[in-house]
Structure 1
Amino acid sequence: MWKIIGYSIAVYNDHVYPTWPYISDTAVIPPESCILSQLFAIGCILQVVVIYYRYLLIKHTVEIYSLQPIVTRMNKSSVWIGFTAVLGVSIISNFQKKTASTTHFLGVMMAFGLGSIYKILHIILSIILYPKIGSKVIIGVRIAITCVCGTCLIMCAIFGYISFNQYNGKNVSRWLPQERGYTYHVISTVSEWITAIPVLLFLVTYAYEFKDILIYKSVFEIPSDITNIE
């Protein structure tokens, strides 16, 4: 949703060419860059919470069924990989492509690269833990999402490289149809958008396993001796 908001504002302000710009190009110039940074920050917090709850669910399942230690190690590794991938998303939004390109692309590699590893680990964990938690349909959906993300990520990189080698314009954020490499550019940008959307859908699949989880509010206690200050 926030990607669409950023795209709409960027197009309205004539900062990008309307036909399939890169997501990063829709968050380069204020006000859309500021708005997207804030929305991405909120999204990152929500992703961290979901990843952590998934970790706790698997941890609890391992304890109940006394599963092999490798499951615990995979679960612990995946949660830190997931957190680092989310950090990459935050870097993408706060270090724009035109002002801090090196840091921006580092964030891209963290978000999509580590994000792909996270998804693969949780597909394996889903297979190991079935039928204790999850279902065959959910496992199939996760595999499909991961395959789509991986394929589109490769297409984005390959066609992006080809298009930039052919580009002869002056402003890549406004890549016009008459400029060289435009067709490859569109294939790359469409692949990027398709890659970004299923990433969130993968986390949404956890809802099937979260539906029966009960979360109680924390108890806040203050030792009595702290309040006895003369």
Structure 2
Amino acid sequence: MSRDWGRNKTLLSASTISTFIVSYIIAVFRRDVDVLFPYISDTAANPPESCLFGLMTFVSACAGTATIYARFKYVEKLSEETMVVSPCLNRITLVLGMLSCLGMCVVATFQETAVMVVHGLGALLFFISGVLYIILQCVVSYYAYPYGSSMIVCRVRLAVAVIASLAFFPTVVCAFFVKQTDLHRDTGGKDYPFHVASAVCEWIVAFSFVCFFLTYIDDFKRFRLSVRTTLES
């Protein structure tokens, strides 16, 4: 049985974007968060948006796992014939990608208002593993050129990886200076500028991941991944 992994990757991007936007709209409509500069997790702190966020994030994590594995198998097959990418490097990117998807599930399962420590650890796992994954995938893309992606795609991936990396540090560093825990932030508080910087950069990193996976469209048109079932007699 074969799968169209280009459609799977489209599902990943669409489900992830929908998760962020739908949760945000519901949270704002219910006045659970401020219209401007909420954390992504703020928009999924209270039901019913937390329930929807958890479900849609799990779907995104499953689609992400399938996409990351398909990319791993594509690079593996490409390297069998060309030897352009180290199998060890390819396996490391696979592990990092899977860890990032695991972090997504932890973030969705443990809301920040319920189990803050676990939620924070899940967010760190998601962002750190995700940023490292796209950085190493940029390295893989350049190693595989011209057998894999075009140079334009390689440069787009590099640009997205740079943006995600630069936005990641303010996301984490500024968050340590944010003392307010209420979902409605006091704009006059001394830590509000840190909150704005951290929240904006968090959204940038998240959408950078989505944009990066969109660059897989052309690659996934070049192969088909098949699953075979054999009965033992």
**Does residue 1:89 correspond to 2:104, yes or no?**
yes
Q: How does 1:13-92 map to 2 (within 5 A)?
A: 13-65=30-82, 67=83, 71-92=86-107
Partner of 1:185: 195
Map Cα deviations across residues 187-209 of structure 1 (whole Å, 9 max, x no partner). 22111111110112111111111
Q: How does 1:33-182 map to 2 (within 5 A)?
A: 33-65=50-82, 67=83, 71-164=86-179, 167=180, 172-182=182-192
Give the distance between the partners of 2:92 and 2:47, measured in 1 at CA. Answer: 37
Q: Are the counterparts in 2 of residues 159 and 188 from structure 1 also a CA contact under 8 Å?
A: yes
Give the distance between the partners of 1:12 and 1:203, measured in 2 at CA. Answer: 30
Secondary structure at the aligned position of 2:177 is classed as helix
Which structure 2 residue ranges, 5 or more long, are not aligned?
1-17
Map Cα deviations across residues 20-40 of structure 1 (whole Å, 9 max, x no partner). 100011111100000000000
TM-score of the pair, normalised by structure 2: 0.87
> CA offset at residue 144 of structure 1?
0.9
**Does residue 1:203 correspond to 2:209, yes or no?**
no
Q: How many pairs align? A: 216
Q: Are the counterparts in 1 of residues 138 and 157 from structure 2 also a CA contact under 8 Å?
A: yes
Q: 1:221 to 1:163 in 2, by over 3 A?
A: closer
Give the distance between the partners of 2:41 and 2:176, measured in 1 at CA. Answer: 16
Report which of the two structures shows the higher radius of gyration computed on alpha carbons: 1
Partner of 1:4: 21
Give the distance between the partners of 2:232 and 2:140, measured in 1 at CA. Answer: 41
Give the distance between the partners of 1:219 and 1:118, measured in 2 at CA. Answer: 29
Secondary structure at the aligned position of 2:130 is classed as helix
Secondary structure at the aligned position of 1:18 is classed as coil
Q: Are the counterparts in 1 of residues 134 and 161 from structure 2 also a CA contact under 8 Å?
A: yes
Map Cα deviations across residues 164-185 of structure 1 (whole Å, 9 max, x no partner). 3xx5xxx521103234432332
Give the distance between the partners of 1:200 and 1:17, measured in 2 at CA. Answer: 24
Give the distance between the partners of 2:201 and 2:182, measured in 1 at CA. Answer: 17
The root-mean-square deviation of aligned C-alpha atoms, in Å, is 1.7
Give the distance between the partners of 1:117 and 1:152, measured in 2 at CA. Answer: 13
> CA offset at residue 75 of structure 1?
0.5
